[in-house]
Amino acid sequence: MLDILVGGFYGDEGKGKVATYLALKDKPEIAVRTGSINAGHTAVYKGRTYRLRSIPSAFINKRTRLAIPPGALIKLDVFLKEMEETHTKDRIMIDGHVGVITDAEVEEEVKNSILSKEIGSTKQGVGAAESKRIMRSLKLAKDYSELSDFIVDVPKEIVKCSKDGLRIQVEGSQGHMLSLYHGEYPYVTSRNTMASGILNEVGVGPKYVDNIVVIFKAFTTRVGAGSLRGELSPKEAQNLGFLEFGTVTGRQRRAAPFDPELANAVIKINSANQVAITKLDVLFKNAAKVNDFNKLPKEAKDWINSMEDKIGAPVTLIGTGEDALDMIDRRKEVSGK
């Protein structure tokens, strides 16, 4: 059973939150995180907050093995520090083909005025490293002796798990609308962030996939340049409680109300069979920490029902707070319909 978690819009939809919830509930044997250190995922569990840039958010489940797939990139200092902080040394697998970012690529991006001024890049060296990989000059995880204990053929391990009927969680990073190919180029990141691109980084065929979950937030945010339909002024965003700051860069995020038409298109193109919406408690204060759909305030239920009509897909997971377990899970209900 392989589930792919895809960001629906511009990243920061709460993929970390959904991944941690599903890790605790579904107990995946392996969790894989694609992408790289420009993407910060936040996991909150039992009063602790973890800001992750390499390690899969599913680390919260101590029995889940954690994998970095061939198409991902790591940076040694960030990775080793995170592994230490999360105490995950004994269950980490890094594919030998994972790209390794060094300070040289970070410097290259910091000096690049297009990335800094026009695109609003996070300047973590990811695009520069990826371009070196394309030119076949980037060093990979297998070239670093300090990683030798962790090197595993990740796609092979995933195929084995799948054959054994075990669960695999694949955590994408950023969001569909930041895809290098399918987003609003050049206001995009340096990878294909949609479901098929995520799978491409993992390196197994599409027939292994069982569920594609697209994740949205109950409002929309974007950092960096590019269009944002219905963008609010910072003051309006603050009044609505939509004000957020980036996990990696600390920049204030631009904000807009949820865009159901765009969500509909994104769901279709990703061939998603499930939708998660996080932070419903920001729109409806009385939704905070509710775990049962029927216990939501009427206006929150009406909002979800009307969004389901507009986006054309069932909302199976609803986030109602920052803790991993602040979630309404309607997966059984929806599959029984």
Footprint of ligand IMP (CB under 6 A): 10-12, 38-40, 115, 119-122, 124, 126-127, 173-174, 178, 189-190, 223-224
Binds 224, which of ligand IMP, Mg ion, none (CB < 5 to 8 A, cut-off by type)?
ligand IMP
Q: Are strands 168-175 and 30-33 parallel, antiparallel or unpaired?
A: parallel
d(CA 46, CA 34): 25
Q: Binding to Mg ion by residue 247, rule CB under 5 A?
A: yes
Q: How far is the CB of 222 from ligand IMP (least distance, A)?
A: 7
* Alpha carbons 170 and 201: distance in angstroms, whole number: 10
Cα–Cα distance between 225 and 99 in angstroms, integer?
26
> Pairing relation of β-strands 315-319 and 327-329?
antiparallel
Residue 174: contacted member of Mg ion, ligand IMP, none (CB under 5 to 8 Å, by partner type): ligand IMP
Q: Annotated catalytic, 176?
A: no
> What gap in Å lies between CA 247 and CA 300, rounded to an integer?
28
* Minimal distance, residue 105 CB to ligand IMP, in Å: 11
Nearer to ligand IMP, 158 or 214 (CB): 214
CB 247 to Mg ion: min, Å: 5
Nearer to ligand IMP, 11 or 14 (CB): 11
Residue 86 interacts with, from ligand IMP, Mg ion, none (CB under 5-8 Å by kind): none
CA 148, CA 138: separation in Å to the nearest integer?
Answer: 17
**Catalytic one among 41, 97, 176, 182?**
41
Least distance (Å) between residue 126 CB and ligand IMP: 6
223 binds, among ligand IMP, Mg ion, none (CB under 5 to 8 A by kind): ligand IMP
- Provide the greatest CA pair distance for the chain: 58
Cis peptide before 69 (omega within 30 of 0): no
Strand boundaries in the chain, DSSP class E: 2-7, 30-33, 41-45, 48-52, 65-68, 73-75, 92-94, 99-101, 168-175, 209-217, 219-222, 254-257, 274-278, 315-319, 327-329
Q: How far is CA 231 from the centre of its chain?
A: 22
- Smaller CB distance to ligand IMP: residue 227 or 239? 227
Give the integer Cα–Cα distance in Å for 257 and 105: 36
| Cβ proximity to ligand IMP, 41 vs 97, nearer residue | 41
Which residue minimizes CB distance to ligand IMP?
224
Task: Write the single-letter amino acid at 209.
Answer: V
- Tokens representing residue 23 in the block: 């890790």
Residues 35-64 binding Mg ion (CB under 5 A) are 40
Q: Which does 177 bind (CB under 5 to 8 A by kind): ligand IMP, Mg ion, none?
A: none
Collapsed DSSP state (helix, strand, coil) of residue 138:
coil
Q: Which of the choices ligand IMP, Mg ion, none does residue 274 contact, using the CB cut-off of 5 to 8 A by kind?
A: none
Nearer to ligand IMP, 10 or 150 (CB): 10
Q: How far is the CB of 21 from ligand IMP (least distance, A)?
A: 19
Which of 3, 7, 12, 204 is the binder for Mg ion (CB under 5 A)? 12
Residue 12 falls in the annotated catalytic set? yes
Nearest distance, CB of residue 174 and Mg ion, angstroms: 8
Q: CA 15 → CA 9, 162, 199, 216, distances in Å?
A: 11, 23, 16, 9
Provide, rounded to whole angstroms, the least separation between the CB of residue 3 and ligand IMP.
20
Catalytic residue, candidates 12, 259, 281, 326: 12
Q: Are 84 and 127 in contact (CB under 8 A)?
A: no
Choose the one of ligand IMP, Mg ion, none that binds residue 34, judging by a C-beta under 5 to 8 angstroms depending on kind.
Answer: none
Residues with a catalytic annotation lie at 12, 41
Chain residues in the site for Mg ion (CB under 5 A)? 12, 40, 247
